[in-house]
């Protein structure tokens, strides 16, 4: 006898629990409200986040947008049940991209996708997003939680972020005025940030690495889950004192691929590797993975989160300002004419 007609089908039976999503929103209200800055209109519940750009009184505002994810660093967080800082990574990868144009982040939206919603994990992750927004002085004005059974393994989730910033037209950092003789200044990263983790996880798997082993006074796992540093406040403050000609966020592709994106085509850069020591986590990865230096510089940030280009007579002032305000900065190289040679020369 076919009794299918007696069975009731619901969205919850299909694996999607709308009430859990509503409960998550209720839990996160305070976190989201705490990130709100001038310009935010309304609160949660609308179909779109609202922001009043006119309230900030820019003369010729240029909007700058960025979107990114965290990559397979999320797998390490999931496998080790450490979800509290991965949201900071998400915000950092987006806001550090738009600060490259000199833009102040205004608002941020997140996308959290999973197979089955675990409210506690989602709350922890999104609280991390809120913490990142606070560090970047950026308002978290909306987001989406998607429960998609069959798309992910039961404990897996994925993240994406989107942010919008603003800069006065005449204050944009464009790289157009970069010239031979200009100086490159590095700002230290906080670790691997959120790039190269597919290679990192392969090294961990191939070497059967003990994540509790201590490297330079810290567990390997803690090194690998250290959140990406957010540079927004430091760069915005520096712009009030120094003319920055160009900025590069050192993400996927490392120094070799990111620096050419922010200088004119007829110029090249020379990087002097004697100016810094490879941080212990990168030295460990290079040794364990038997990775040559070219591959290291194309895959990882190798200890450098941002590279600034300034006029030679502003170099010392820039370095001193950054170091006096909580960063580790140093001269890393210079700009030269490109006579058909390599765009990035690492020596």
pLDDT per residue as tens digits for the range 189-208: 999 999 999 999 999 999 99
d(CA 127, CA 194): 18
DSSP letters, 107-152, are EEEEEEEESS--HHHHHHHHHHHHHHHHHTT-EEEEEEEEE-BTTB
3-class DSSP state for residue 11?
coil
3-class DSSP state for residue 186?
strand
The secondary structure of residue 39, as a DSSP letter, is: T
pLDDT per residue as tens digits for the range 90-128: 999 999 999 999 999 999 999 999 988 898 999 999 999
Question: Are the C-beta atoms of 187 and 306 separated by less than 8 Å?
Answer: yes
3-class DSSP state for residue 320?
helix
> H or E element: which one contains 289?
helix 280-289
How far is CA 149 from each of CA 15, 16, 177, 306, rounded to the nearest angstrom? 6, 7, 51, 39
In this prediction, residue 20 carries a pLDDT of 65
d(CA 139, CA 342): 41
In this prediction, residue 51 carries a pLDDT of 86
CA atoms lying within 13 Å on the CB side of residue 278: 14
DSSP letters, 230-241, are P-HHHHHHHTTT
Domains and CATH numbers, the chain: 11-171 (3.30.1330.10), 183-346 (3.90.650.10)
Going from the first residue of the chain to its last (347 residues), give the mean pLDDT of each consecutive group of 10, the final group possibly shorter.
52 57 69 80 76 90 96 95 96 97 96 90 93 95 87 89 96 94 97 95 95 96 97 96 95 91 91 94 95 92 96 96 96 88 78
Distance of alpha carbon 94 from its chain centroid, rounded?
5
The alpha carbon torsion through 302, 304, 310, 312 (nearest 10 deg) reads -60
In this prediction, residue 45 carries a pLDDT of 65
In this prediction, residue 3 carries a pLDDT of 53
Question: How does strand 267-271 pair with strand 40-41?
Answer: unpaired
In this prediction, residue 37 carries a pLDDT of 83
Q: Which of 193, 126, 137 is nearest to 160 (CA)?
A: 126
Question: Where are the strands (E) in the chain, listed by range?
Answer: 40-41, 50-51, 61-69, 104-114, 139-147, 157-168, 183-188, 214-215, 218-219, 246-249, 267-271, 304-310, 329-337, 344-346
In this prediction, residue 38 carries a pLDDT of 87
End-to-end, the C-alpha distance of the chain in Å comes to: 79
Question: Are the C-beta atoms of 211 and 202 separated by less than 8 Å?
Answer: no
In this prediction, residue 319 carries a pLDDT of 97
């Amino acid at each position: 006898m076919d009794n299918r007609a007696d069975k009731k089908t619901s969205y919850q039976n299909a694996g999607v629990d709308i009430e859990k999503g509503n409960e998550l929103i209720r839990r996160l209200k305070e976190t989201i409200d705490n990130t709100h800055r001038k310009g935010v209109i309304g609160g949660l519940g609308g179909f779109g986040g609202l922001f009043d750009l006119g309230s900030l009184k820019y003369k010729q505002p240029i909007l700058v947008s960025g979107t990114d994810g965290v990559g397979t660093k999320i797998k390490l967080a999931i496998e080790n049940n450490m979800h509290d800082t991965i949201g900071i990574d998400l915000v950092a990868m987006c806001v550090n991209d738009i600060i490259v144009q000199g833009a102040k982040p205004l608002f941020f939206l997140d996308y959290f996708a999973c197979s089955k919603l675990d409210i506690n994990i989602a709350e922890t992750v999104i609280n991390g997003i809120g913490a990142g927004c606070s560090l970047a002085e950026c308002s978290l004005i909306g987001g989406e939680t998607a429960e998609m059974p069959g798309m992910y393994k039961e404990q897996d989730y994925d993240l994406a972020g989107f942010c919008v910033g603003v800069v006065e037209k005449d204050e944009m950092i464009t790289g157009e005025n970069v010239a031979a003789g200009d100086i490159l200044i590095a700002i230290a990263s906080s670790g691997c940030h959120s790039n190269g983790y597919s290679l990192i996880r392969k090294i961990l798997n191939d070497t059967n690495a003990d994540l509790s082993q201590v490297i330079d006074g810290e567990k390997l796992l803690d090194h690998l889950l250290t959140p990406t540093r957010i540079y927004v406040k430091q760069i915005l403050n520096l712009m009030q004192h120094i003319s920055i000609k160009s900025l590069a966020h050192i993400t996927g592709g490392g120094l070799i691929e990111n620096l050419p994106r922010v200088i004119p085509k007829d110029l090249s850069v020379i990087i002097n590797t004697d100016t810094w020591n490879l941080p212990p986590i990168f030295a460990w990865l290079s040794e364990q993975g038997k990775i040559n230096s070219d591959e290291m510089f194309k895959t990882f940030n190798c200890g450098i989160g941002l590279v600034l280009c300034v006029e030679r007579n502003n170099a010392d002032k820039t370095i001193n300002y950054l170091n006096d305000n909580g960063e580790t900065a140093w001269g890393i190289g210079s700009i030269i004419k490109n006579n058909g040679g390599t765009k990035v020369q690492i020596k």
